[in-house]
Structure 1
Amino acid sequence: MKNKKLAKHLKCFVLDHLWVILLFLAAPVSIMIVYLTLISGNPGGTWWYYVFLSLFILLCFLLYRLYSTWDFYEILCNENKTLEDFLISEPKGREEQHYRKLVEEQHRLYLNRLARMEDKQKQSKIMIYRWVHQLKMPLSVIRLVSENKKGDSDFRKIAQSAAQIQYDLDQVLNMYKLDAIKNDFHSEKVNLHSMCKDCINELKSSFITKGIFPKLEIADDLVVYSDSKWLRFVLYQLLTNAIKYSDEGKKITVRADRSEECTSLSIQDEGCGIDPRDFNRIFDLFFTGQNGRLRGESSGLGLYMVKQSLDYLGHTIMVQSELGKGSTFTIYFHAKSEI
């Protein structure tokens, strides 16, 4: 690989200086050969001496050019380029010095523009946070009033709508928090039974409202390495989706299995399943799919955030689904060293 890169480097250099070589051979060398041969008539050893001296001077010139532009051609031959890769740390010739000044100026302008964009994004994020938290206060009052009068069918509908709004607002906040997962990550031992049980209890009212029965099949001592906060978020999203797309009287099973290679955690529902045409796009941002459009309950954020979170945590998620019979989302936990 290194030899191939060097050959490409030298090839670019020779092609760029081919005109110098041809001009040198066509002018000084050729003219002097013609002069010594035709005019002098008896060049003797002078002809060979002049050719050797000329080629030596040409070789010295090319070697100097190769040395003074080495880093420049190194950049041109580099296939994986970032903006920082275009910077030359120690320029050797005047061309590289001028090139470095030009790139540094462009890099400075880029960093300034990037800083302004980050500031605008930060301000936008702060505004969204404030807006969401301002909505949560009157929303909490609505839910409290509705729960106190849950015997009234109209208030039950209001409570359900308020819960949906609360869920959507939390998704907006989690979407922004996803950008900061690198600064909010801690690998630790997580008891899957306790975590899944807690998530099911948090969604108890949703299970009761829709008449869906949760079933937990996980050993009490089953432990994996992950981040408890983000893994809880993933499980909450998957369980919420399972409830959302299941009908009354159905069952949602949460089970885990351990093998020599990894531990798997599955959330299996008996809902409407996933349309085969949508299967390859379910983790795309804002993709709602056929089921989301029919039921009008999908924002296209949940599964996207699930996939992004698990990718960073180092876990794998696989999906099995049959239209009209349900879906199974399985998370695979690998060894601690792979997180």
Structure 2
Amino acid sequence: MKFSSFLKDKILFLLAQSFIAVFLVFLLDVYHISRYAIILICTTIIITSFVALAYEYLIRSRYYKRLNKTLESMEQKQYVASLLEEPNFAEAEVLCEILKRVTKAMNDEIASYKISQEEYREYIETWIHEIKIPISCIDLICQNNRNDITKKISEETVRVDSYIEQALYYARSKNVASDYSIRRLSLDSLVKAAVKKHSKQLIGCGAQVKLDDLDHTVYADEKWLDFIIGQIIANSIKYKKAALTLWFSASENQENIILFVRDNGIGISEGDLGRVFEKGFTGENGRAFAKSTGIGLYLCKELCNKMYLGLEAESTVGDGTTIKITFPKDRQSFLQ
């Protein structure tokens, strides 16, 4: 709060005090009061007014400074009204009362929105689990009645199931407390399970999978990591060249274990590489070679962040892409 702004707010008071001082000068002069007495009276009025204004300014300035300091120190600023000091001047009392009422209305609206969002998330999760039943039935029917048509239907159901799983993880990505469990896992078993899960698509596109030095133990959530590796495999299939080759390998240093997933696909342009983990980003490949939602790698990055894992992409156009997942070794504290 600037003193100049405060004085502008008090302009009427200053004009009134000036008028009173001038009026007293003329009035006392009419009654032939000594000039020294007139000067003394006017000086007293001016000093008293100045002291009163200075005192009022200090009280207001200190209060608003404390209020700003409290607000800046808060992460959730919508709760500032609950931490307000009781003011000792009327203007702030009115302001605080209005602020408390507005804050309460806003917090009620936020609570209502959160409840609505939670209900919608629960509905989506329920729907996803329910829709998996008829998809499994379709797949079972296709397996029991094998021909060229049912083979194609079975392939499409796998794609549908993949998109449904993606929707499930997207619904859970902002609220994962109940679905979050860091465990000690075998990297070799995880990779093999993910490859087996996508074996139909890999066989269908004639892919060759190579595994090298995966005998490591990592700390992560098993379901989340399976989803992440699955999304990487799905992207390699989607953006493959004539013959797809997938390499899974791992390396270890003093602090981390790094999983490398490399393919020989079409690669990613340098301009797109820095944005592949952004929500909704499809890039040149998504527009030119396959339909893309820009959600898969975004979800992978979100889940890796939740598990404190690193996720990076390296690529050269025409020479394939390498995805690196970094697992910190010191994860025992998450098991407690």
Q: Same fold (TM over 0.5)?
A: yes
Task: Please give the TM-score of this superposition, normalised by the length of structure 2.
Answer: 0.80
- Aligned match of 2:201: 206
**For structure 1, which runs of at least 5 residues remain unmatched after alignment?**
1-11
- Aligned match of 1:70: 62
Q: State the superposition RMSD in angstroms.
A: 3.5
Q: Structure 1 vs Structure 2: percent identity of aligned residues?
A: 22
Match for 1:146: what amino acid?
C
- Residue 55 of structure 1 pairs with residue 47 of structure 2: yes
- Aligned match of 1:330: 324
- Residue 189 of structure 1 pairs with residue 181 of structure 2: no
Post-superposition shift, 1:163? 0.6
Alignment check: 8 A CA contact 2:276 2:297 kept: yes
- Aligned match of 1:6: none
Alignment check: 8 A CA contact 1:212 1:247 kept: no
Counterpart secondary structure, 1:216? strand
- Aligned match of 1:16: 5
- Aligned match of 1:170: 165
- Aligned match of 1:239: 233
Alignment check: 8 A CA contact 2:262 2:323 kept: yes
**For structure 2, which runs of at least 5 residues remain unmatched after alignment?**
none
Structure 2: distance between partners of 1:336 and 1:30: 81
Alignment check: 8 A CA contact 2:124 2:171 kept: no
Structure 1: distance between partners of 2:22 and 2:251: 83
Structure 1: distance between partners of 2:169 and 2:248: 23
Post-superposition shift, 1:65? 4.6
- Residue 271 of structure 1 pairs with residue 265 of structure 2: yes
Structure 1: distance between partners of 2:199 and 2:97: 63
Post-superposition shift, 1:270? 0.7
Counterpart secondary structure, 1:196? helix
- Aligned match of 1:140: 136
- Residue 43 of structure 1 pairs with residue 36 of structure 2: yes
Match for 2:205: what amino acid?
K
Counterpart secondary structure, 2:210? strand
Counterpart secondary structure, 1:263? strand
Instruction: Report the CA distance shift for 1:54/1:236 in structure 2 as closer, same or farther (over 3 A).
Output: same
Alignment check: 8 A CA contact 2:239 2:290 kept: no
Counterpart secondary structure, 1:43? helix
Match for 1:185: what amino acid?
Y
Identify the match of residue 154 of structure 1 among 139, 149, 156: 149
Count of aligned pairs between the two proteins: 325
1:190-226 Cα distance to aligned partner (Å, 9 max, x none): 3323322322222223222221122222342x33333
1:98-120 Cα distance to aligned partner (Å, 9 max, x none): 22221121122212222332333
Instruction: Report the CA distance shift for 1:197/1:71 in structure 2 as closer, same or farther (over 3 A).
Output: farther
Counterpart secondary structure, 2:254? coil
- Residue 110 of structure 1 pairs with residue 101 of structure 2: no
Match for 1:180: what amino acid?
N
Counterpart secondary structure, 2:274? helix
Post-superposition shift, 1:167? 0.8
Alignment check: 8 A CA contact 2:238 2:290 kept: no
Match for 1:121: what amino acid?
Q
- Residue 280 of structure 1 pairs with residue 274 of structure 2: yes
Of 120-129 and 172-181, the range deviating more from structure 2: 120-129
Match for 2:139: what amino acid?
R
Post-superposition shift, 1:303? 0.7
Post-superposition shift, 1:149? 3.8
Structure 2: distance between partners of 1:262 and 1:37: 92
1:4-52 Cα distance to aligned partner (Å, 9 max, x none): xxxxxxxx242332244892885667877899999755528x9579747
Counterpart secondary structure, 2:191? helix
Structure 2: distance between partners of 1:259 and 1:229: 25
- Residue 125 of structure 1 pairs with residue 117 of structure 2: no
Structure 1: distance between partners of 2:91 and 2:126: 52
Alignment check: 8 A CA contact 2:185 2:219 kept: yes
Instruction: Report the CA distance shift for 1:219/1:170 in structure 2 as closer, same or farther (over 3 A).
Output: closer
Identify the match of residue 290 of structure 2 among 287, 296, 304: 296
Alignment check: 8 A CA contact 2:78 2:107 kept: no
Match for 1:159: what amino acid?
S
Match for 1:138: what amino acid?
P
Alignment check: 8 A CA contact 1:67 1:92 kept: no
Alignment check: 8 A CA contact 2:250 2:257 kept: yes
Structure 2: distance between partners of 1:223 and 1:247: 33
Counterpart secondary structure, 1:333? strand
Structure 1: distance between partners of 2:82 and 2:59: 17
- Aligned match of 1:8: none
